[in-house]
Amino acid sequence: MNNFLKQWGEAAYTTAGFFWMALWAFVLGYLISSMIQIFVTEKRMQKTMGEEEGKSMVLGTFFGFISSSCSFAALASAKSIFKKGASFVSSIAFLLASTNLVIELGIIISIFLGWQFVVGEYVGGVLLILICWILIRVINPKKLIEKARKNLEDEDDDSIDDSKDWKKQIQKESSWAKVARKYKMEWQMVWKDVTVGFTIAGIVAAFVPDSFFQTLFINSGQGNTDFTFLEILEHIIVGPVAAFLTFIGSMGNIPLAALLFGKGVSFAGVMAFIFSDLVVFPVLRINAKYYGWKMSLFILFLLFTALIGTSLALHYSFDLFGALPDPSQVKIQDSEYFKIDYTFFLNIAFLLISGYLVYLGFFKKKDIDYNMSEMAPKSQLLENILKYAAFICYLWLAGGLLVKFFIQ
């Protein structure tokens, strides 16, 4: 019993420490994302992208880079620009870039995993797009694309007014009230995923033995970096399976990715796990609602194939240059999370910024037409499960911290 209480306290403390380390990055990332989504509309994106495939793919990648990292928001935005005439290739490029090339994700990865994974995330995001482009050019699914676009014809128009000059709008308090509102919506989209994800990471760190990971990921183990090709391929395939079973969004998955790497999973396997937020069942179901099941399965094939190719290319490229990261660099336990350092001061500063945004969003929102962009149609059952799971997590964390500091 005493051993369980000790592990419970350690799990709760690790989760709280993880979130404290990442807090300022969440605030910064979602602030940047909110600003861009208010001042750069989807209609402006589509007008800029044009019809030429190469140009539209590059611009789709760029606009995805400056957009939200929430996979559900990315799905809705990609559908919207596809509906308004963007090529299928540029829509896929936007989708992949908006979930893999965004600033806030890179910041979180740098905190938990180090620079090699940040480089892998951004280079890998570009590789995912290029591989999908090649596959689409080779397969050339014209009928499938036409049918998918036809499925969207009956939807109501969701155009956004982009007639106003963003340079003038950025100087108005009412515009920043819109940013504050969008910032609130960003947190509403991810709070459940982040809560469950960080809690799971803490629980796994404290309770799950290394032998479990060595069984799940063949030949993994602390200090082992010498993997055969087949072992790396198995890690790459199992990584998305693990992501499927713990679907908690790209941001919530990063502490768990750090945990996997610290337990000895290969670089390729961890990158595959990070890239897997678009190859899970909720995303498959949403794409089916948008485009039909055939197109949804085709997108799944594209993304999973690109994920395997990208993870292999990253692993062997880093190995060639002697840049594969060392699992010992990831310290997920026995860390002094709450010391007075740069993280403490950044968190205080960004909490003050959050406070100001809350003030704008709640007290300066009268007579403002927010006209926010849509979200993908989530499953109400899944949302309720996640919501209650998050509440259970808060009880677990409160109990664990109480045990650690007052009972043990």
Q: CA–CA separation, 292 vs 106, rounded Å?
A: 33
The overall average pLDDT reported for the chain is 80
At 374, the pLDDT band (50, 70, 90 cuts) reads: low
Q: What is the largest CA-CA distance in the chain?
A: 66
Q: Is the pLDDT of residue 333 over 80?
A: no
Per-residue pLDDT, 52: 62
Structure tokens at 344: 């403490």
Q: Is the pLDDT of residue 91 over 60?
A: yes
Report the interhelical angle of 88-100 vs 53-65 (nearest 10°). Answer: 20
Structure tokens at 253: 């998955």
Per-residue pLDDT, 77: 74
In terms of DSSP H, where are the helices of 140-248?
142-151, 166-169, 173-207, 210-216, 229-245
Question: pLDDT tens digit string along 111-152?
Answer: 888 889 999 999 999 999 999 999 999 998 888 888 888 887
Per-residue pLDDT, 317: 94
16-30, 97-111, 357-371: segment of lowest average pLDDT? 357-371
At 48, the pLDDT band (50, 70, 90 cuts) reads: low
Taking the complete model, does pTM exceed 0.75, yes or no?
no
At 394, the pLDDT band (50, 70, 90 cuts) reads: very high
Question: pLDDT tens digit string along 213-232?
Answer: 778 888 776 566 678 899 99
Per-residue pLDDT, 203: 86
Structure tokens at 76: 């809705």
Per-residue pLDDT, 50: 55
Calculate ∠ Cα 59-64-65, nearest 5°.
95
Above pLDDT 90, what percent of the chain? 21
Per-residue pLDDT, 158: 40
Per-residue pLDDT, 393: 94
Per-residue pLDDT, 107: 84
Q: CA–CA separation, 15 vs 196, rounded Å?
A: 10
At 36, the pLDDT band (50, 70, 90 cuts) reads: low
The CA-atom distances, in angstroms, between 93 and each of 69, 338, 369 are: 14, 39, 30
Q: Please classify residue 386 by burial: count the beta carbons closer than 10 Å to its beta carbon, then call 0-12 exposed, 13-18 middle and 19+ buried.
A: buried
Question: pLDDT tens digit string along 256-311?
Answer: 888 888 888 899 999 999 898 888 777 787 788 788 889 999 999 999 999 999 99
Q: Is the pLDDT of residue 16 over 70?
A: yes
> Comparing C-alpha atoms, which of 374, 355, 369, 391 is closest to residue 184?
355
At 165, the pLDDT band (50, 70, 90 cuts) reads: low
Instruction: Return the higher-pLDDT residue of 313 and 19.
Output: 313
In terms of DSSP H, where are the helices of 364-403?
380-402
Per-residue pLDDT, 159: 41
Q: Is the pLDDT of residue 395 over 50?
A: yes
DSSP label of 322: T
At 398, the pLDDT band (50, 70, 90 cuts) reads: very high
Q: CA–CA separation, 209 vs 207, rounded Å?
A: 6
Q: CA–CA separation, 21 vs 16, rounded Å?
A: 9
Structure tokens at 331: 């310290």
DSSP label of 151: H
| Cβ pair 267, 119 in contact under 8 A | no
Instruction: Return the higher-pLDDT residue of 234 and 333.
Output: 234
Section 240-253 average pLDDT? 67
At 396, the pLDDT band (50, 70, 90 cuts) reads: very high
> Which stretches of 113-159 are assigned E, i.e. beta strand?
none
> Comparing C-alpha atoms, which of 262, 243, 259, 254 is closest to residue 203?
259
Section 205-220 average pLDDT? 80
Per-residue pLDDT, 51: 58
> Comparing C-alpha atoms, which of 392, 403, 405, 401 is closest to residue 16?
401
28-37, 141-150, 163-172, 275-284: segment of lowest average pLDDT? 163-172
